[in-house]
Amino acid sequence: MIGGAFRAPSCHETSDMDPSESVPQAAVASAPGQARPSSESIVMSPRRLLVSSLSVLALLMAVVAIVGYFFRTPLLRVSKMFVDALGGMGVALGFFIPDAFTLPLPNDVSSVLGLAGGLSFLEVTVWASVGSLIGGTVGYWIGRYLRSTATVSRILLRGGGMAQKVLDRYGMTAVAVAAITPLPYSIFCWAAGAGRLDFRAFLLVSQLRILRVAGYLYLIQLGLLSVADLAV
């Protein structure tokens, strides 16, 4: 820089430059064969979703079996107290609260308590599904009407706003996948509302949540039955 004017490098100076420094980083990233998949496509990768789903299911069955085997009596006692005090409404609340307010609470705990406490498979499925669907709907409207508030904006920006990015790219498909996989369903409900996706379409896609509830509950029941067989 001479006298405030920019001086272009001479030919000699240019030749002395490191070749790697003369190539813009953006050009390297966009070179043929060097393109990387977007973070959204990685999140929605079928293989990734399958592996994560199977891992969660295996972990769920293992936890239920271990807790049921080593803590069977306390589990049955607590479950009976849970059902006597709250009944099916307790199961519904166990799904409603985390699905509506994005709280990191394992909603399947209420399924275990309901099933072990004497509620039938159908009763637990219905109550859990109702709680989850109402919770997701509340989450949608929270995102839609409170998206500009500091708290909601901060939650939606978690992980670099990944849920919103995935939703912008895949639309309702992202909500459908979140309804039946380990993806955070509640966050996607908020993001769907914030993005003003059609509510009727959202409500229709959210019915897949029933399949998720029934499927997980079936595996929970298998775990409890296997524990009961071992205890006999």
* Residue boundaries of the structural domains of the chain: 39-231
Residues 6+ apart with CB under 8 A from 193: 139, 140, 141, 142, 143, 144, 145, 147
Q: How far apart are CA 127 and CA 19, in angstroms?
A: 65
What's the full length of the chain, in residues?
A: 232
Task: Work out the percent of the chain whose per-residue pLDDT is above 90.
Answer: 46
Q: How many Cβ atoms from other residues are within 10 Å of residue 48's Cβ?
A: 13
- For the stretch 99-150, pLDDT in tens is 999 998 889 999 999 999 999 999 999 999 999 999 999 999 999 999 889 8
- For the stretch 11-32, pLDDT in tens is 444 445 444 444 444 444 444 5
- Cα separations in angstroms, 9 against 12, 17, 60, 115: 8, 10, 64, 76
* pLDDT for the residue 227: 54
3-state secondary structure of 81: helix
3-state secondary structure of 207: coil
